[in-house]
Amino acid sequence: MTPPPVTGGEARSPGVDPEALVASAVEVLEATTTLTELDEAQTELLGKRSALVRAHQALASLEPAQRPEAGRRLNEARRSIESHLSERREEFERGERAARLQADRLDLTEVIAPPLRGRLHVVQRTRVELEDVFVGMGFVVAEGPEAETDWYNFEALNMPPAHPARGMWDTLYLELGEPETVMLRTHTSPVQIRLMESQGPPIYAVMPGKCYRRDTPDSRHIPTFHQIEGLVVDRGISFADLAGTIETFTTAYFGLDIHSRLRPSYFPFTEPSAEYEITCTICKGKGCRTCSQTGWIELGGCGMVDPAVFEAVGLDPDEWTGFAFGFGIDRCTQMRHEIPDMRVFFDNDVRVLRQI
């Protein structure tokens, strides 16, 4: 195809009008939607086969006098097309950069949906919360085995063989060693002995864990349950320290409107001993079925470490004093969440467990 001649001066027709070249180039550029299309348009508008190049070649066919002017106008057209082209290129690049930034953007305000993998059982959560309260009061957390020997579960706790206090407890023995020497522990108090044997005073520790008793399940009892034991051994510890610790714990965990009281009681390993009770959170002390109409719920027992226990672990009772307490974690959960019947924790009906 022979390129159309470029006109110079006023008389443009019938040659190529550089301004028309620019106008149609702008149209082509505006129609592009991607950088690849733009590259193609560049070849089409400025490449060897472009109308512009052909118009340049056609200059040769002009009168020599007309050539410089026509050439100047063609060069102007080329510059104009080039600048439109680079403007368009920048537009695309800006857009691409913005898109990339948008895609890379980290939304730090995004709420991550909780994983659907479940969570700790409410009794385990109580255990963690109780540990936190005591750690905040300066205690450390310790643990002991669930299968215990007679020595730890009874004897070192001042319950020699045939002691009447064993009566309600000596039940769940394991077929291990001599008959009736290894059992599922009935309380967490054996960990007191283990701690005193393995480390010297001062001791400020809590010991949570599972316990087993031949109990008939009812609204406040479960045969496999959880306790948290406390033990303080130091010089000059008094019953007031025990009462203060219990009260501080009660208000920290249950809130300021729940009170504690200690009622005289008996445990072979503490002297004096007390029952630790709190205001029934279900009736707020008025009396209901759960608290047997008393307005109080027993959480556990406590007292000053009996001198016989210190002797059993080789500590001098004239030098060392201490207190111990042990109470039910399940009972705490029940009171904290105001649940009339403890059995719902272990029926494992997820519709219930999801609510607490």
Residues near ligand PHE, by CB under 6 A: 187, 189, 229, 267, 270, 273, 300-303, 324-326
The sign of the CA dihedral 75, 76, 77, 82 is positive
Give whichever of 165 and 252 is closer to ligand PHE, judged by the CB atom.
165
d(CA 39, CA 32): 9
Give whichever of 227 and 281 is closer to ligand PHE, judged by the CB atom.
227
Q: Residue 305 Cβ, how far from ligand PHE at the closest point, in Å?
A: 8
* Residue 187: other Cβ atoms inside 10 A: 23
Q: Residue 294 Cβ, how far from ligand PHE at the closest point, in Å?
A: 18
**Is-contact 302 213, C-beta < 8 A?**
no
Q: Residue 152 Cβ, how far from ligand PHE at the closest point, in Å?
A: 12
d(CA 202, CA 194): 14
Q: Residue 144 Cβ, how far from ligand PHE at the closest point, in Å?
A: 13
Q: Which residues in 231-267 are b (16+ Cβ under 10 Å) and which e?
A: bbbeeebeeebbbebbeebbebbbeeebebebeeeeb
Q: Which residues in 36-54 are b (16+ Cβ under 10 Å) and which e?
A: eebeebbeebbeeebbbbb
**Is-contact 52 28, C-beta < 8 A?**
no
The residues with which 140 forms a beta bridge, in sequence order, are 205
Give whichever of 62 and 206 is closer to ligand PHE, judged by the CB atom.
206
Give whichever of 16 and 242 is closer to ligand PHE, judged by the CB atom.
242
**Is-contact 142 195, C-beta < 8 A?**
yes
Q: Residue 273 Cβ, how far from ligand PHE at the closest point, in Å?
A: 6
Q: Kindly state the tokens that stand for 211.
A: 């316990």
Give whichever of 41 and 253 is closer to ligand PHE, judged by the CB atom.
253
Give whichever of 273 and 281 is closer to ligand PHE, judged by the CB atom.
273
Identity of residue 186? T
Give whichever of 148 and 229 is closer to ligand PHE, judged by the CB atom.
229
The sign of the CA dihedral 105, 108, 111, 115 is positive
Q: Residue 134 Cβ, how far from ligand PHE at the closest point, in Å?
A: 14
Q: Residue 187 Cβ, how far from ligand PHE at the closest point, in Å?
A: 3
Q: Residue 155 Cβ, how far from ligand PHE at the closest point, in Å?
A: 14
Give whichever of 85 and 329 is closer to ligand PHE, judged by the CB atom.
329
Q: Residue 213 Cβ, how far from ligand PHE at the closest point, in Å?
A: 9
Give whichever of 7 and 321 is closer to ligand PHE, judged by the CB atom.
321
Task: Find the DSSP H helices in the chain.
Answer: 18-31, 35-46, 51-58, 67-104, 122-136, 150-153, 190-198, 239-254, 307-312, 329-336, 344-347, 350-353
Identity of residue 133? V
